[in-house]
Amino acid sequence: MSFPVVVLISGSGSNLQALIDQSLAGQLNLEICAVISNKANAFGLQRAKQAGIPTHVLDHTHYSSRELFDTALQECIDAYQPKLVVLAGFMRILTEKFTRHYQGRMFNIHPSLLPKYKGLNTHARAILAKEKFHGVSVHFVSAELDAGAVIIQAKVEILSDDTPETLAQKVHKLEHIIYPQAVKWFSEGRLAIDNSGAWLDNTLLPETGFQYSSS
Ligand code: GRF
C-alpha cells in the first residue's frame, strides 16, 4: 500500500517535483494525495496538476488571523488523512497549535546547515560570514522556526566565486536528493522522534542529522 502524504508549497515546487519523479520511477512508494498552496500563482500547482494530483489554494490574505488560516489549512489537510505533511518551500510561519497537531509527522526543508542560519537569505548570509561550507537540512517541524530535530543534511563547499544564486543552485540539487530520502525513510517506518531528537533505525541521530555523501 502506498503512503499518503500532503505537500504544502508557496512557489516553484521543485522539491515537490523531486517527490513526484521518484514516485513515478518507483523509488518512493508515495501517494501524494494533495498539494496545497497559499499562493494562487505558485508554479508548483501546475506541476501537481500535470501529475494528476488534486490541488487547493488557501490564500492567507483572505483570513483575518494566522489562527484562522491555520485552522482552515488543517481542515484541508486532514480531509486527506495523510501520514506525513511535507512542507516544500511553504513560506508561512505556523501557529504552535498547528505544529502540535502534526508533531512527529510534518517535515520541512531548510537551505542551511541547521542549527546555523535559521530564517531567510541563508545563502547570502553564509557567504558574508565567510563560511567554508553551506548546505541544506530536512527536519521535523516544531513550534519554533527551523528548530525541530534534524533528520538529514547535505553539504556543499562555498567557492571564492560563489554568489547567493550559484550557491542556491548547488544547494537545490542536493535538496532534491535528501528530501525524497527522508520521506522514504519515514514511509518505511525507519524514522522516529522523541524528546532526545530524531531516530533512524533505532539509533539517535546527532544534532545535525544523518550526513549525506554522494560517494
Ligand atoms: C527551497 O530552497 C527550500 O529549501 C526552501 O524553499 C525552497 C523551495 O524550493 N524551504 P522549491 O519551491 O521546492 O523549488
Ligand 1 nearest atom to the CA of residue 87, by list position: 10
Q: Say yes or no to pLDDT of 214 above 90.
A: no
Q: Say yes or no to pLDDT of 123 above 80.
A: yes
| β-bridge pairing 133-140 and 210-211 | unpaired
Mutate to test the pocket of ligand 1, among 91, 93, 109, 123 (most ligand atoms within 8 A of CB): 109
Closest Cα partner for 144 from 177, 103, 184, 180? 103
Q: Which residue puts its alpha carbon closest to atom 12 of ligand 1?
A: 13
User: Please, are residues 211 and 116 in contact by the beta-carbon 8 Å criterion?
Assistant: no
What domains are there in the chain, each with its CATH number?
A: 1-102 (3.40.50.170), 111-135+144-179+190-215 (3.40.50.170)
pTM above 0.85, yes or no: yes
Predicted local confidence at residue 39, as pLDDT: 98
Cell numbers for 103:
508533531
Q: What percentage of the chain has pLDDT greater than the value 90?
A: 96
Predicted local confidence at residue 139, as pLDDT: 98
